[in-house]
Amino acid sequence: MSTPAHPTTPVARLTVLYDAECPLCVHLRHWLLRQRQLVPLDLVPAGSRRARDLFPGLDHAATLREITVVGDRGQVYTASAAWIVCLWALAEHRPRAHWLAAPVGQPLARAAVLAASKWREALKGSGGGDRDCSDGHCEVPGPPG
């Protein structure tokens, strides 16, 4: 699990890099956008031109393998820490984020991230998820339904 580069620096804005070709990731993107945010979330397709322009020093291949969240002061969160910080940014889910970050909740957070990762890998194995966003043309599907 990554830790922030500046743990005492407050976070005023977060950028969530998500896989625009993953149905689960796109669903969660839309869910995040519908929530009341205490900390604004910018959702950017991982590996896109915009992501590369915003974060030139980031390993963009890694951002396509797992969720990555970048704070406005350079904090980088990955894996379960990324999911927890997304929940922390939401008004109704901040208490849950604190619980998941505590020792009692960390196993559940890790298990949820592992399950999502396994699901994504299974989907890629069935022909979904083959794409290259390096040209900046990762299309974002519309909300479900």
Contact between 89 and 10 (Cβ < 8 Å): no
Residue ranges per domain, the chain?
Answer: 14-125
Nearest-angstrom CA–CA distance, 36 and 31: 10
* pLDDT over 70 (residue 135): no
Asked whether the whole model's pTM tops 0.95, one would answer: no
pLDDT at 68: 95
Mean pLDDT of the chain: 82
Return the DSSP state at 102: S
Record the tokens describing residue 49, joined without a space.
């031109």
In 10 A of CB 142, how many CB atoms?
A: 8
Banded model confidence at residue 2, pLDDT cuts 50, 70, 90: low
